[in-house]
A and B are shown apart, each in its own frame.
Chain A
């Protein structure tokens, strides 16, 4: 959901909705709610504290004709768009690290084939590998939903499950 009039450093977390990506150089928290098979991809440069979060829905943007307009929708194009925007804001490409969370397979439907979540995870890993971005941490797969909060300034990616009120439902990557 897009918020209008958000001040940098505002205390409310910036919502990163499905198919969206946000890059920030402040202490903002970027939040994606209720990921099932969708994947959250967080990239950050620990030196410049510039980072971004993408909430991707599908694996392969190169095969889709609208990926120019909606790079955040696809794992591959979202990673490239995040990197490009971070570098434009002053991040150092070679220092950038990645963390990912999500990609569950909630249902075993016939039409889902090998699993829609697995396809997203595989695509993200492949693209990161191709671009030489190290994957520092991951909390992926399984059969449960996740809400993530990413703080580019510290590189902290907090993953909550629906049992998130007690301690065992929260993981910090």
Chain B
């Protein structure tokens, strides 16, 4: 099975189109404004997908089995509270006769009526996505009757699905988020395609030689090694115990990258790197974390506002060493060398730090692989988002040069730490 950027781009368009149709129908049904949040194609291992689900929140899902042009499962997952709010709105729309017994907000069990309402909403959303994909593919996709699932782990959602990836299997996951405007209702959508069905689709959509799917393992190892190096460096330099919380490889349209950056003033360090691959690397901290880092690295009192010369140079220094570690991690997996520029400091709106990079890459590509990493500290403020965005053609070449057998030898010790979210 081989894939290329054109095929992935088509997948991305499917996800966007599907999310749009689903959001439109949700608006129509609930009479509220809805927004499509970030849509991504993620390459994730089974264990990470399962880990994603284990954040202690109760979830409710509606899943359908797909046959035809795409085979696999499509699952809409709500947080339990969101699901209740949706059902409440929906039944209120249906008129006073349909009022839920007691009060939906206080009910903690789904009864027959609320379950069937939630299933209906989930099914309409699933169908929206699937209609969008079918439109883009100009093909027919058949959908089974919806199934209502609830639980706190991945088990009830994917446990019994043969298509769900094993712990170490790298799966291509379609992920979208739709939110209602004003109220806090949001949900995630997942598509688990069957491998053979994927393979057939990729074959059809591919327009270039492409990359062998198994080589994506190299991607994942790169991400793993890079993230691990960043956390280690941060711990060594600041004395703050840090660990990798999220590590993800996304395929997104360039325009979507700044959209996912927090809408607040951030502190960052940016680099361009050169080699095979070349590209850009950004470390972004929220202001509080940046202050914490400066306090940890600079022994004397620093002025409260802004970061001053001392603070700026401390953060640049940390960024510089994290960048070397990150890119060394990559170079190691790819058996090459990657050089990086001197650090550029930024203290500004997060999106404004990212857009120059996507503009520069946008001259030659519409999509990008983004290595998305979040490093956090236990008990202290240290949130660091890492965006590594390589030049697409370089990356394709680098991966094709990759000897898959060699990957097995590369050390993989990144460990995830459970973070207390309560």
Contacts and interface: CB of A to CB of B under 8 A. Distances in A.
B355 A35 contact: yes
Contact of B362 (A12, A34, A58): A58
30 contacts: A1-B259, A2-B36, A3-B34, A4-B34, A4-B35, A6-B33, A18-B258, A33-B263, A35-B355, A36-B353, A37-B355, A38-B355, A58-B362, A58-B363, A73-B362, A104-B352, A108-B344, A109-B272, A109-B280, A110-B272, A110-B341, A111-B278, A111-B360, A116-B356, A144-B348, A145-B348, A145-B349, A145-B353, A146-B349, A162-B349
Interface string B328-364: 0000000000000100101111111111101110110
Contacts of B360: 109, 111-112, 116
Interface in B287-316: none
B18 to A, nearest CB: 13
Contact of A147 (B26, B33, B181, B349): B349
Question: Which among A2, A35, A58 has the highest number of chain B CB atoms within 10 Å?
Answer: A2
B352 A4 contact: no
Contact of A111 (B36, B258, B272): B272
Contacts of B280: 109
Contacts of B259: 1, 17-18
A38 B350 contact: no
A74 to B, nearest CB: 10
B359 A116 contact: yes
Contact of B33 (A5, A57, A107): A5
A29 to B, nearest CB: 15
Interface string B1-43: 0000000000000000000100110111001111111000000
B352 A57 contact: no
Interface of B: 20, 23-24, 26-28, 31-37, 181-182, 254-255, 258-259, 261, 263, 265, 270, 272, 278, 280, 341, 344, 346-356, 358-360, 362-363, 366
A54 to B, nearest CB: 13
A168 interface: no
Interface residues of A, number: 38
Contacts of B35: 1-4
A106 B24 CA distance: 37
Interface of A: 1-6, 10, 12, 17-19, 33-38, 57-58, 66, 73, 104-112, 116-117, 120, 144-147, 162
Contacts of B37: 1
Contacts of B358: 18, 57
Given A18-B255, A18-B258, 9 more contacts: A4-B23, A34-B263, A35-B351, A58-B363, A104-B356, A106-B352, A106-B356, A108-B344, A109-B341
A75 to B, nearest CB: 11
Nearest to B24: A4
A162 to B, nearest CB: 5
A18 B359 CA distance: 10
B265 A106 contact: no
B359 A37 contact: yes
